[in-house]
Amino acid sequence: MSPTGADASARGAAAMPDARLDALDAAAVGLLEPLIHATDVDVVGLAGAAAAGPGGAAPGGTGPGTPAGGWRIGLASALDRLAEAALDLELIGLGHAVGLLRAHLLGVARPDDVALELASAEGWVSDAIAFCSGQLPVDEAPTLIERLRDWPGLGERVTPELVAPIASRLRQDAERIAAATIASMQAVGAADDLREPAAMPPGMEEVPAPMVAGHEDGETAPERAQAGALAVGADELAMLAEAAGQLEEEFAPALAGDAGAADRAAHEARIADSLEAGADAIERFANAVGYIGLAAVSAVLETFARTLHALASEPARFDDRHRRLLAQVAPAWVRLFREPSPQAAHEALGPLGDSAWPMPAHRESIDAAMAQFASLATVASRRVAAAEQPVDERDLSLEIPLDADRSVVDNLLRELPTLSAEFSSCIDRMASGSGDAIASAQRVAHTLKGSANTVGVRGIAVLTHQLEDLLQLLEPVDGGLSAELIDVLADAADCVAEMSESVAGMGPAPEGVLGVLRRVRDWTNRLLQDPAAAIAAPAEPRAAPAAAAEPAAVEAPAEAGQPVASTVPAGPVEAVEREEKVERVQQIERIGQVEPVEPAEPAEAAQGASAQEWLRVPASLIERLLAFANEASILLSQAQEQAVEVDRVRATLRSGTDQLQDLAGELERLVDVRGTALSERRAREDFDALELDEYNDLHTVSRRIAESGADGRLIEQQLGGNVAALRDSLSQLERIQVDLREAALQTRTVRVDSVVPRWRRTVRQAARMAGHDVSLQVDGEATEIDAQLLQSLVEPIAHLLRNAVDHGIEPPAQRQALGKPPAGRIVLAFARDGADLVVECSDDGRGLDPQAVRDRATALGLLEAGEPCDDAALARFVLIPGFSTRTRATQLSGRGIGLDVVNQAVREQRGSLDIASMPGQGMQVRLRVPVRLAAVPVIVVRSPSHVLALEVRDVEQILTADRIFDDADGVRRFHGTAGPIRLVRLEDALGLPVDAFAPPPGVEPAAPAVLQVRMAGGERVAVLVAEAGQTRNVVVRPLASFVPPIPGVDGAAVLGDGAVAPVIDLPQLLAARQDAHAAPALDAARRAAPVCLVVDDSVSVRRTMELFARDLGYEVDSAADGIDALERVARRVPALVLVDLEMPRMNGVEFVRALRERPDTRAVPVIMITSRSSEKHRRLALDAGVDVFLTKPYTEDALAGHIAQLVHRR
């Protein structure tokens, strides 16, 4: 190394603070935890699972402890902490080596490499601990990168080009650590104020080291060690105790007892295998003990491991004396590390020196080990440091930096609500005593911190970093946590959730974050001094849920620019700066490093997730997909209508073909008659040859006409087959289209449980403010509904919950006096009812006070004194804006803002709200809101003035109307499938005129039908409709927000012909209008549209004129010639006639003359449209009585003008 480099290292070492050296050493020791928990079962189980394939399991399972291969994920997480500590001290080489290994461990191990990885990990971790403690020679520092070349599955990525620069960096790092260690030892006992702040590099401010339990003078672990005491973290002792407990499993076969002579060989083989496995486990255990500084103890254990190896080679020597001694080993070492004491050390070390062993431990070795245990000083953790630097508002900012990567920000916004909800769930499980909840909460907090640091959201990073430290101190705690600590963790979880929602744009920023952070840090510092403070006292009473003390959420933050009191620790602020430095250094010094990836969810969380892949798409794309599906549904309806129209045209074609064949037959008869006459004339010799030629030509034409008629009939039959195939294809397309839209809707549906944590937090905070003890039960959490609908209901339901806590649930003492449980209970239930979502919020509190509601309504002038009003009507008063029975406003209620907000939100979703109160027993609020469905099957009912779409939901049968009768009271009933049932006319239920669905005059009415409807309570009602039309699947569109909710009307649908039909829910309609009656009938002249008669022998011209007349507001009758037209006139007198001149059977002039001869049609306006433009034809038409003679071509505007003049003149 060059002199210049040596000087620089010396200067850096001198500046390197002791506390951060301790943090580096502690992070290195933390690598032991996953290795201590790892067993041979991990290796065998992981290899077996890999060999079994996806979903397979290794024979024998994995047994208790961590999942197979779980140590790899744990080691990767520990390496993450080591990387932070290394890069905090600018140990670049160590950071690169750690990053390479961490990225590899987060990947999937190859089955062939699994058995070798654990051994490689033990060797690498041993070197890493020596490196970080300054005990690894500088020349051996490159082993940290060179060992990775031999790591199974990693060696091919660690190329020589990558090794050389990292090895050089590692040497520089080792020199810095060695120099700093010497300088630190020389500086022990020096006063803190003798240090020159200017000598510290930027960001190297001193952080106090972990304090030893019971030493309030602030003596640090290194100082204690210098004085002869060995500082060991309580979490490290807990890890060793757990590892000792696992030894018993290895020894179990050897402790099973002797066997008969016949089984002697097999028994000795089992003993040999057990002793060999136990010896390997003791070696790993000895390494772990040595890693934390108990070198003498480790030496005794290594001697014992050699003893077991010797016995394994000669299993016949293993007798009952050895069995009794071996049975004492595991329990004794578990007791020793759980509660270290001289007596426990004697009980653990004594059996290892017994003369019965082939190679017992020497007395001197045991005495040295006893001396080490005597000097043992327990600290809470060597991986967590107390922090005392203040925090200001900038450190708790929730702003996203302007230069943040947009894709990274999007990922964060998607992950934050889920992660915060998971963290809250972990805290709830901790409160219930779940053993694995602490580790899960620590993992989620670490993920939240990493995600927030990646984007730069400092507030979340600061709080979650401190929570991670606190949870880490709770790992070794055996027993329930104190209620006070659980309250602090619950408040912190609520705060993290509210901060996450604020960043995601789902709510305002929380208040009192400083107070929450202060309480978390106070507990961290408290546990560093007294780890037992976290354990609940045996007879500790339940904490008052009302939080008699001021809640942290209302603590006022410091003003901008004003420093916060120095009692607020600052570890998380430095953690944020450290995360930023890590990212900066990694970007500058990246040398082919693989980008680390956060580990996947452990097996417990992954079990519920299948192997399906997930994609994230923008919500706008889903909206476009839904819009396209809706348009496709409308186009499909139009295609279905066109198919019906084609079928109608086919029927017309068949009728015309039949008529053509009849005429052809008649023509043939006439030709035959003429042929007979020609034959008679030929016999009389007055026959003309030219007449014979004419006959032959006529006979040929008649035959061709007959053949054309037959061809037309064949074409009509083929068209019928094509129409039938088209209908089948449309039916299949309809099913596919429904599935398509259903799938599109499912892409934006979410489960209710995705927002349940927010409601639980609402109840918890409201209960704390009100001084009540309340539990929330949520039923139907798996219900899936539209994401927008669920989001719109989050705040209204939160209002209901707050109202139930404050107004409904009584104080615990009052509840006990009433014979109720001290804790109140709120049940929130979700269910789907057809096209509706039903939400019920019920509590077991006091219910509504009818007299208080009446008094308040009277005071507000809403009710006259003494005016009768039932309880249901009184309950509706609480929905009025500004209505409150409280005389004093609190943080929760009293301002009249609550249920009216809920009611308004439900009305905006076109839903309804009902209240049921039982005084003294509780209250239930029931919300019913429509949900978005893919398609709703309906029956289309048409009339000249109405088009309705009746939902087939709860329509059990469609029956003929031939079983209607009057009972003894004269009430019309219908004999349904289950007997006589009530009959309701559709016009009565809708409040329409009695003749609303009557056909136009002269039109034969269709056969009526009866719909048998099942009501919500099980009652069956018969609904009489004028005609049961076709069944269609329609897309229901919500009505405009300014239209008030109409009972029974779910929305509107666009039909295939473009008509807009209201969608009617019959059960709701009948329930809301049980006593409704039809409106009086309208005058026929007022309700009937004028009739236009179109007379033309051309089908295409008739169709064109029909559409034109309908556009002008006319009902249209049409006829092919004058005779058909007179028949139409006899049934219904038209208000206007459009007629052609030249037509068969009776031409236009003859028809007009006949029309003018009738008294009732003498004044009907007639417009003749023809291609004959001569003055002769014009004069003939006008003389017959035509009002306007119009020649082709013409314009529709000109025709419309003539019609307007005629109608006005009339």
The Cβ of residue 475 has, within 10 Å, a number of other Cβ atoms equal to: 16
DSSP 800-869: HHHHIIIIISPPHHHHHHTT--SSEEEEEEEEEETTEEEEEEEESS----HHHHHHHHHHTTSS-TT---
What average pLDDT does the segment 1135-1158 reach? 91
Asked if 480 and 430 count as a contact pair (C-beta separation under 8 A), the reply is no
Integer CA distances (angstroms), 256 to 271, 327, 329, 715, in order: 9, 10, 15, 93
Domain ranges in the chain are: 1-206, 231-364, 393-536+568-596, 619-679+689-746, 752-930, 936-1085, 1089-1209
Report cis status (omega within 30 of 0) of the bond before 1193: yes
The Cβ of residue 754 has, within 10 Å, a number of other Cβ atoms equal to: 15
Describe the strand order of the beta sheet including 922-930 as a list of residue ranges: 774-779, 824-833, 836-843, 922-930, 912-918
State yes or no: pLDDT of 241 exceeds 70: yes
Look up residue 732 and give its two tokens.
């299949």
> pLDDT digit string (tens) for 145-198?
888 888 887 777 787 777 888 888 888 888 888 777 766 655 544 434 433 333
What's the confidence (pLDDT) of residue 212?
33
Integer CA distances (angstroms), 880 to 614, 857, 858, 899, in order: 46, 10, 13, 8
**For 335, phi and psi rounded to 5 degrees?**
-65, -40
DSSP β-bridge partners for residue 892: none
- Give 1065's contacts (C-beta < 8 A, 6+ positions apart): 834, 835, 951, 953, 1048, 1049, 1050
- Give 272's contacts (C-beta < 8 A, 6+ positions apart): 312, 313, 315
What's the confidence (pLDDT) of residue 890?
53
0.85 exceeded by pTM = no
Let me know if 1204 is exposed, middle or buried by CB neighbors in 10 A (0-12, 13-18, 19+): exposed
Asked if 241 and 338 count as a contact pair (C-beta separation under 8 A), the reply is yes
What's the confidence (pLDDT) of residue 559?
34
Distance CA 803, CA 925 (A): 11
Alpha carbon 779 to its chain's center: 17
What's the confidence (pLDDT) of residue 1002?
58
Distance CA 350, CA 360 (A): 10
Kindly state the percentage of the chain with pLDDT values over 90: 7
Among 13-27, 431-445, 480-494, whose mean pLDDT is lowest?
Answer: 13-27
DSSP 1178-1197: HHHHHHHT-SEEEESS--HH
Distance CA 238, CA 337 (A): 7
Higher pLDDT, 210 or 358: 358
**For 40, phi and psi rounded to 5 degrees?**
-60, -30
In which band, very low, low, confident or very high, does the pLDDT at 862 lie, cut at 50, 70 and 90? confident
State yes or no: pLDDT of 330 exceeds 60: yes
| Average pLDDT along the chain | 75
The Cβ-side half-sphere exposure at 275, using a 13 Å CA radius, reads 26
Give the CATH architecture of domain 393-536+568-596.
Up-down Bundle (1.20)
State yes or no: pLDDT of 545 exceeds 50: no
How much of the chain is in helix, strand and coil states, percent to nearest 5?
A: 55, 10, 35
Continuous segment of H or E residues that includes residue 1010: strand 1009-1014
Distance CA 459, CA 456 (A): 9
> pLDDT digit string (tens) for 356-389?
898 888 888 888 888 888 887 776 666 565 655 6
| Dihedral sign of CA atoms 118, 120, 126, 131 in order | negative
The letter for the amino acid at 837 is L
Integer CA distances (angstroms), 278 to 253, 281, 787, in order: 10, 5, 56
Distance CA 637, CA 947 (A): 15
**For 238, phi and psi rounded to 5 degrees?**
-65, -40
Looking up tokens 């979700």 gives 830
Angle 984-990-992 (CA atoms, 0-180°, nearest 5)?
A: 105
The Cβ of residue 427 has, within 10 Å, a number of other Cβ atoms equal to: 25
State yes or no: pLDDT of 847 exceeds 70: yes
Distance CA 177, CA 172 (A): 9
The Cβ of residue 1018 has, within 10 Å, a number of other Cβ atoms equal to: 6
- For 325, the 3-state DSSP assignment is helix
Q: What is the 3-state secondary structure (H, E, C) of 198-231?
A: HHCCCCCCCCCCCEECCCCCCCEHHHHHHCCCEE
* Domain 1089-1209 = CATH 3.50.50.60: no
Residues across the chain: 1210
* Dihedral of the alpha carbons of 206, 212, 217, 219, in degrees to the nearest 10: -50
Closest CA to 922 of 851, 852, 850, 845: 845
- For 1015, the 3-state DSSP assignment is coil
**For 1088, phi and psi rounded to 5 degrees?**
-85, 135
Distance CA 720, CA 1146 (A): 33
Alpha helical stretches, state H, 973-1076: 986-990, 1066-1072
Alpha helical stretches, state H, 818-952: 850-859, 871-877, 899-908
**For 102, phi and psi rounded to 5 degrees?**
-65, -45
CATH T-level topology, domain 752-930: Heat Shock Protein 90 (3.30.565)
- For 933, the 3-state DSSP assignment is coil
DSSP 422-454: HHHHHHHHHHTT-TTHHHHHHHHHHHHHHHHHH
Beta-strand relationship, 936-942 and 947-951:
antiparallel
DSSP H helix total and E strand total for the chain: 39, 25
Higher pLDDT, 667 or 1203: 1203
What's the confidence (pLDDT) of residue 215?
35
Continuous segment of H or E residues that includes residue 254: none
Alpha carbon 482 to its chain's center: 34
In which band, very low, low, confident or very high, does the pLDDT at 220 lie, cut at 50, 70 and 90? very low
